[in-house]
Amino acid sequence: MKKLRKQLTEYYDTMYDVERNEKFLKVRNDIYTAMDAYKASNPNASAVNLKSELHLQIANRFEPVLFDELPFFYEMGIKPADCWGSPMLGLPCAWGVLPELKNANINDPDIVAFDSFACGAVFDTDHHCLGYTKLFETGILGIIENIKYEQKKNNTKEKQDFLAATEKSCNAIIKIAEKFSLEAEKQLVNCQDEAKRGNLLKIQNTAKRIPANPPATFYEGLCMIWFMREVTASVEGIGISLLGRLDKLLGSLYVADLKAGNITRTEAKELIKRFLSITPIKFKARTSNWADSSTCIELGGCDENGEPIFNEVTKMVIEAHEELKLTIPKMNCRIAKNSPKEYLDILSTSLLNGHNVYAFYNDSAIIEALVNNGKSLKDARNYVNGGCQETIVEGTEHSAGVYLYFNMPKVMDLTLNGVLEDERSYKTPKTENYYPKQLLNPKTFEDVYNAFFNNIKNAATCATFLRTEYGKNWHKSNPCPIFSSTLEGCVENGTDYTAGGAKYNRSTFCATGLATIIDSLYAIKTAVFDEGFITYDELCDATRNNWQNNEQLRLRLISLPKYGQANPEVDALASRFVEDLNNHINTLSNERGEQFQLSMFAYNYYSAAKFFVNATPDGRRRYDYLSQGISPSRVAPMQSALDAFNSASSIDFRKTGGINVLDVNLPYNSAMSTEVVSSIIRAFTDGNSHAVQMNYVSKEQLLEAQKHPEEYSDLIVRMCGLSVYFVNLSKGDQEEFLSRNFYTC
């Protein structure tokens, strides 16, 4: 592994600042020149036609990069090392993005007007999952066969254009693989090292078959996944976050290889280790203070018939990830009531060993939520979670998972205190009527709730509308025929995924600050209307002035019951609010003709969004952290992890089509055995919540790590959609983690 790490590091060190890399620049300029000439000769070419020509030009001109310490082939040298496909960095979009779309979220005055409570891009170009199931069943040649079948039908000109372009792009992918085979053959001539020759021979032979054909062996399966992930991202200019459900995709191939004597468990595990090692080396996970590559692996869960998935591949991936002490790829583990005990015990033991890298996904709640939001049961059972935690139905869906974060506490701030002077200038004629309006002189709590919720509805409607208007043109900017061809529906409909060709086409509305909102609403209800120890105007003044001269009031409000303490009245309010919000979000349409769906996870937006929000009635001070996901606020100390589970489960998340995430720092004591943690994980499946991220670490450990970082280089924490080495974090991010709830029971 040391040799592999050295070889990859030496290459990728040259690929961070590609504008200084002469080889990269020459290839890119050659491709651009060829594309300019093609465009001049074909002035009426469609966007998808231009994209497929770009694929062909890339296939003709790129120079394969092989690492003889690695048996995989994928590196085309046409995107920076620390890019997994984002169009702002990748080669394709540097040539093809429409200028009016590229930076719309930065430059458009209407979108800027809503930036304090609705931020993000105009189209989610990341967080994608290839149709790995289709690729494993048919290979690229099977997709081409399906394209040819559709071409025989009486199609419109637009559909025929899409199908022709997609066929051309698929053939370009096969040509790219063949060039890797030829490069391996070339390098074999002068290679004397036995191990390196073995790797090159594998590549030479396998690149002739993969991805054109479905994989026939465990090794070929790994090659298919890694090649298609990396190459699709390189040539399409989109982020392919998911490496797929490794145990589901590879389990039967491993068993067949083992039975035939083609592989041993030790050899298979070594292949997995090398497969897993590429991403952390590329993204400098060991030295970066925020090494997020968006790369995820899905394990466990069930198959399309509902039968549990747990096999030797599941075990080997978990073992390899922990033995290498990796933080990426991210480990997304599906769990269910019928998950095997051995599976949960392996995960629990790993967690107790300090391998804080897991997000656990509740199959029963998520699958039911997906079905309630229009997916078939069979499709829903094949869900994955990509980028961070966004739910995607593999092979059938493009779900725009993270391109709109919504700052609910800012809307409450505006409802209570009105628009500040420096915010008035941001309003535009298009957004004026949707901007949150200040509430004056409410007579009842229902007046407050209704005014606040109407502001939420109006702001959400405008925020989604603005993105939809831009998104309608994205298919003219960066259609992706290769990615689209792997999704059910796109070839059959003759339509790119950017234009709604996939079977499912939802978009996610990601609402931030749930606990901050619920605790604040409950504080208003109790303090102003139930007990009357302060007036509405006095409370607004106190928050506007950041509790100046009102510390006793702040402490009294903090002492009120909170979400996360399993208080029935507070939890009922949370349930009501989420149901109301979900019902409204489901009425909002995206540019692909389907609805938005409610999500409640926030990556680290809860940290950035705090700077927009004044003090809130729950006792939070100005610029303190907002609550993250569906986790309790950190305003008041929380003791019981079970109470946090119960509060989250009181909300009917089986109706929300996005994802919601609970963060829990487990009690750090001798009572936390494998059996106990497994019971906690299994108990989570009894509730309505979708996902939980657990850490097993003490505050004392973290404080010592701050003092003596050299002694804690392997200390990992799960933050907010990624895991990191704690000592690598900035001081600010370390303090943010330390300010969270560390449960004692």
pLDDT tens per residue, range 221-230:
999 999 999 9
pLDDT of residue 421: 61
Percent of the chain with pLDDT over 90: 83
Indicate whether 305 belongs to any domain. yes
Of the candidate ranges 92-101, 396-405, 500-509, the one whose mean pLDDT is the lowest: 92-101
Indicate whether 738 belongs to any domain. yes
Q: What is the mean pLDDT of residues 364-387?
A: 96
Indicate whether 94 belongs to any domain. no
pLDDT of residue 637: 87
pTM higher than 0.85: yes
Indicate whether 454 belongs to any domain. no
pLDDT tens per residue, range 8-19:
999 999 999 999
Indicate whether 282 belongs to any domain. yes
pLDDT of residue 130: 97
Residue 106's pLDDT band (boundaries 50, 70, 90)? low
Residue 109 has pLDDT above 80, yes or no: no
| CA-CA-CA-CA dihedral for 485, 490, 496, 500, to nearest 10 | -140
Residue 88's pLDDT band (boundaries 50, 70, 90)? very low
Indicate whether 252 belongs to any domain. yes
Backbone angles phi, psi at 715, to 5 degrees: -75, 115
pLDDT of residue 93: 45
Residue 246 has pLDDT above 90, yes or no: yes
Q: Please tell me the total count of domains within the chain.
A: 1
Expressed as residue numbers, the domain containing 732 is 242-386+666-745
Q: What DSSP line would sit under 425-473, residue for residue?
A: TT--TTTGGGS-----S-SSHHHHHHHHHHHHHHHHHHHHHHHHHHHTT
Residues 6+ apart with CB under 8 A from 43: none
499 token code pair: 């234009």
Residue 101's pLDDT band (boundaries 50, 70, 90)? low
Arithmetic mean of pLDDT over the chain: 93
Indicate whether 501 belongs to any domain. no
pLDDT of residue 57: 95
Residue 90 has pLDDT above 50, yes or no: no
Residue 477 has pLDDT above 90, yes or no: no
Of the candidate ranges 26-40, 133-147, 580-594, the one whose mean pLDDT is the lowest: 26-40
Q: Are strands 383-386 and 358-362 parallel, antiparallel or unpaired?
A: unpaired
Percent of the chain with pLDDT over 70: 96
Query: Please, is 682 exposed, middle or buried when counting C-beta atoms within 10 Å of its C-beta (0-12, 13-18, 19+)?
Result: middle
Indicate whether 464 belongs to any domain. no
Strands (E), 600-715: 661-665, 691-695
Residue 92 has pLDDT above 60, yes or no: no
